[in-house]
Amino acid sequence: MSDSEFDLLDELYFVQGYAYLKDSLGWEDLLLLETLTSLYKKGMIKCLSEPDEERFDQVDIFKEGENLFFLATKKGLMAHNTL
């Protein structure tokens, strides 16, 4: 797990929107979108269209990421806590 992935998972113990993550981490869009995509492909985060509405289809984070919410999965939390 990269440092960026670790830092992002740190913010996703609770549902967070894209704008919050960008502001909280102070990252450029490209880094945030790349890191979200990486964690999503590894099954470490899930995407939500609303804070309580999980997306079960395949999500293109580069196209939709700015309008989504994110949450660490059990797999992501376990990986984050074992480092």
pLDDT in tens, 28-44: 999 999 999 999 999 99
Integer Cα distance of 52 and 5 in angstroms: 23
Residue 76 CA, chain-centre distance (Å), reads: 10
Look at the chain and report how many structural domains it folds into.
1
Q: What is the pLDDT of residue 83?
A: 67
Per-residue confidence (pLDDT) for residue 48, from 0 to 100:
98
The pTM of the full predicted model, rounded to 2 decimals, is 0.95
The predicted structure's pLDDT at residue 37: 98
What's the pLDDT at 82? 87
CA dihedral 48, 13, 78, 73 (to 10 degrees): -10
SS3 43: coil
Backbone angles phi, psi at 14, to 5 degrees: -130, 155
Residue 44 domain boundaries = 3-81
**pLDDT tens digits for range 43-79:** 999 999 999 999 999 999 999 999 999 999 999 999 9
**Which domain CATH number covers 74?**
1.10.10.10
